[in-house]
Structure 1
Amino acid sequence: MPEAPDTPAALDATAPSRTSRERAKARRRADLLTAAARLFAAEGFDAARLEDIGAAAGVSGPAVYRHFAGKAAVLAEILETASSGLLEGGHDAVRDLAPGAESLRALIAFHADFAVDNRDVIRVQDRDMSSLPAADRTAIARVQRRYIELWAAHLRHLHPGEDHATAVFRAQAVLGMLNSTPHSVRRTPSDRSARRQALTSMAWAAASAPLRPAAPVVA
């Protein structure tokens, strides 16, 4: 059990070793999540087994249960962590920046970094979200909606003539482009770097371009 907050660690001879164990447990949990994301992305949630996840992270299948109640709990934590990290990181990226163009450029740069480094998570999100229990899907979707709303708020500053629904639509389109990385970016550092630059340029073009009415259909 963790120490009570008012217990000085220096007075507990077991504190250093317990802290070390906790750090090792956190690292192992992170390794399991990384291995699971890779396997889910490659094989699909249904096909991947807990034993395979454990083996990929260097632990036995039963040992995975020391960290997660089951495979659905692993999937939920992957997607919850990603969604919460995007929302928090997005707010951090625009903190103290002017609303509109300056903040949108920061959001694009932030999300591009996420996208090129988390191809597996994006693929899992796109394909396996439906495998989660309804309560987990609802909670994750709520966080994701708040992230989209953050983008939409700055898009409305950039395009004051557009309504909220249009800003949300544009935000989703730009994020969809940035999230194309599972199909367009290889894992090599050089390719990630080159593709990131292209993604940010295209995303800014999509975010900043005025929307023109559709041309009338000529019979």
Structure 2
Amino acid sequence: MSVDQVRSPRRTQILHEAAQLFAARGFHGVSVDEIGAASGITGPGLYRHFRGKDAMLAELLVGISEQLLDEGRRRVAEHDSPAARLDALVRGHIDFALNERALIVLHDRDLANLPDEDQRTVRRLQRAYVEIWVGVVVDAYPGFAQAAGRERTAFRARATADTDGDASPQSADARARAAVHAVFGLLNSTPHSAPGGPHAPGPDAMAELLRTLALGAFAAAGR
């Protein structure tokens, strides 16, 4: 899954170079002229494609959020069983994490540089993407609902006994949502924080390792 799949070759090239430069030096540390030079086009010529750096950053971050959501929906629709749907989601997100490092850096560091409306759009798309995962995870691992039921029973017992206790119990969706965010943290960071060198796992081995870890985390959390 790549941000390059839905754009013209010239826009794709400009956005690719902008993403690399923004990730390496920060949004405010890069000029339009530098993006133009990296793209083989004069700085003023970029304004035929984008109104400025803000528009490039918005298209990068909104665009990848839209594509993650569309890809998530497509993968879920292609499979019948919850386990197969979850595996497809995990594989798709791993592909993103391994191949779109610059966009992960941009989101973590430069989302706040977007106009408020674009920030709200990105967050809305991301929430929808997370909720796809939450529904699949709860279906794949009934233990999330069972654990939530045990918490509700314990909470009612404490309330009946009029004793101090923990806050209100989490729902199955809330527990699954926390697990999804934790797995996203694992998938998004591990490929780029793992040590390199001649003995480091290759892309295929890393992808399979991340898949095993992600599914194992959901299985453990959903017991």
With the shorter chain as reference, the TM-score category is 0.7 to 0.9
Deviation, 1:96, is: 3.5
Greater relative contact order (CA < 8 Å, ≥ 6 in sequence): 2
Total equivalences in the alignment? 186
Q: Tell whether 2:183 aligns with 1:174.
A: yes
State the one-letter code of the partner of 2:188: N
TM-score, scaled to structure 2: 0.78
State the one-letter code of the partner of 1:198: L
Counterpart Cα distance in 1 of 2:106 and 2:78? 33
Q: Which residue of 1 aligns with 2:214?
A: 203
1:126-165 alignment, distance < 5 Å: 126-160=108-142, 161=145, 162=148, 163-165=172-174
Question: Is the partner of 1:98 in helix, strand or coil?
Answer: coil
Does structure 1 conserve the Cα–Cα contact (< 8 Å) formed by 2:17 and 2:35?
Answer: yes
Does structure 2 conserve the Cα–Cα contact (< 8 Å) formed by 1:99 and 1:154?
Answer: no
Q: Which residue of 1 aligns with 2:82?
A: 100
Question: Is the partner of 1:39 in helix, strand or coil?
Answer: helix
Counterpart Cα distance in 2 of 1:159 and 1:194? 26
Correspondence for 2:11 among 29, 41, 48: 29
Gaps of 5+ in 2: 1-6, 149-171
TM-score, scaled to structure 1: 0.79
Q: Tell whether 2:42 aligns with 1:60.
A: yes
Counterpart Cα distance in 1 of 2:141 and 2:195? 30
Q: Tell whether 2:194 aligns with 1:184.
A: yes
Q: Which residue of 2 aligns with 1:73?
A: 55
Deviation, 1:159, is: 2.8
State the one-letter code of the partner of 2:194: S
Looking at secondary structure, tell me which structure has more helix per residue.
2
State the one-letter code of the partner of 1:93: R
- Report Cα offsets for 1:52-92 as digits up to 9, x if no partner: 11111111111111111111110000011111111111111
RMSD (Å) for aligned C-alpha atoms: 1.9
State the one-letter code of the partner of 2:132: L
Does structure 1 conserve the Cα–Cα contact (< 8 Å) formed by 2:61 and 2:103?
Answer: yes
Q: Percent identity?
A: 38
